[in-house]
Amino acid sequence: MNFVAIDVETANLNFASICQIGVAEFRDGVLYDTWESLVDPEDYFDEMNIAIHGIDEWTVRSAPKWQIVYELLVPWLQGKVVASHTPFDCVALFRACEKKGLAPHDCTWLDTARVVRRAWPVFAQKGYGLANVTKQLNT
């Protein structure tokens, strides 16, 4: 299966405040290519978020704004299956697009947390965080 995995970080509790994005494209189950970028969210940075990812306003001071990153993402996302672990990344992209008046990328979203919860009964109610799932499935 071909798909793109995506991960975003936000500057604060506002999902539209994307400050970093990374994508990894898989073709036939093999990592094919990766891309990442810092993003100037044009928003404030909350101390809790900084503690999680280490990105602050100084880190993104020369980073592109969402409108530029949006365009750079088109070849990565357009018409593809895009996987994220929980809806967070999907919602963040939708909110960032909405904030700037941009149409969401035309892609199919796959929530891997939902897949894990349905495929393995042990993860149905709890323990379906990415770190725990990886640990459990690699043993």
DSSP states of 26-39: EETTEEEEEEEEE-
Domain ranges, ordered by start, for the chain:
3-112
Query: What is the spatial distance between Cα 19 and Cα 69, in angstroms, rounded to a whole number?
Result: 11
Count CB-CB contacts under 10 A for residue 133.
19
Query: Above 60 in pLDDT, residue 8?
Result: yes
Q: Look at phi and psi of residue 116 and say left if phi exceeds 0, alpha if psi is from -120 to 50, else beta.
A: alpha
Q: Which pLDDT score, from 0 to 100, does residue 132 have?
A: 86
pLDDT at 118: 92
Per-residue pLDDT at 13: 97
| Per-residue pLDDT at 139 exceeds 70 | no
Structure confidence at residue 36 as a pLDDT band (50, 70, 90): very high
pLDDT in tens, 93-138: 999 999 999 999 999 999 999 999 999 988 888 888 888 888 888 8
Model confidence, pTM? 0.91
Q: So what's the pLDDT on residue 133?
A: 87
> What are the E-state strand segments in 28-121?
30-38, 81-84, 108-111
What's the pLDDT tens digit per position in 37-82? 999 999 999 999 999 999 999 999 999 999 999 999 999 999 999 9
Q: Are 37 and 12 in contact (CB under 8 A)?
A: no
Q: Alpha-carbon torsion 53, 80, 93, 75, what sign?
A: positive
pLDDT band at 7 (very low <50, low <70, confident <90, very high): very high
Its CATH architecture, for the domain 3-112, is 2-Layer Sandwich (3.30)
What separation, in Å, do the N-terminal and C-terminal C-alpha atoms of the chain show? 23
